[in-house]
Amino acid sequence: MEQKTQDYLNNYLDTLTDSERKRYTSFSADYFCGDEINANLCADLVSQGIKTATSSMKHWYDSGEEMMPTEGHLLVVTNWDGEPQSIVEITAVSECKYSDVTAEFACSEGEGDRTLDWWRAAHWDFFSNECVAADIEADENMVLVLEHFQVVHGAAA
């Protein structure tokens, strides 16, 4: 974690009681999406409390390239340039097939018009490109990891 991000996290942790602070043992920092425009948009949506969930391909966790998210994990959400925007706590993690993502989950991702149709179109493009990069085939049965989170520090907290 970069120093400015670590400082942002430490400033938040310093506001907590000892017992509250001890609840947290897992920390990271990252942006959402794979391009500057969407990373900055998602950081804003998170800070506003509109984006309260995200999804990713389980492939990345099975391959060992990423650590599986866990409840209670604190994520410093950054913009594309790595500037901290907020801190979220992961509140739930589940798995489902791409084809089984619900309208409720799509809405909680907070992007586009928040409909399942919009989510499916945008995420099919995103996950298909990730599959090409991973040299695997995209299909409706690919397993996703779904995360729900809440802002604990930042504009929506």
Q: How far is residue 110 from each of residues 2, 17, 47, 131, measured CA to CA in Å?
A: 27, 32, 11, 23
Checking if the pLDDT of 41 tops 90, the result is: yes
What does the pLDDT read at residue 33? 87
Q: CA–CA separation, 3 vs 137, rounded Å?
A: 38
Q: What is the CATH number of domain 3-97+141-153?
A: 3.10.400.10
What does the pLDDT read at residue 157? 67
pTM of the model: 0.91
**Helix (H) / strand (E) containing 150:** strand 143-153
Q: What does the pLDDT look like over 47-69, one tens digit per residue?
A: 999 999 999 999 999 998 889 99
Q: What does the pLDDT look like over 14-38, one tens digit per residue?
A: 999 999 999 999 999 999 988 899 9
Q: What does the pLDDT look like over 89-130, one tens digit per residue?
A: 999 999 999 999 999 999 999 999 999 999 999 999 999 999
Q: CA–CA separation, 27 vs 50, rounded Å?
A: 22
Question: In the chain, what are the domain boundaries?
Answer: 3-97+141-153
CA end-to-end distance (rounded Å), the chain: 22
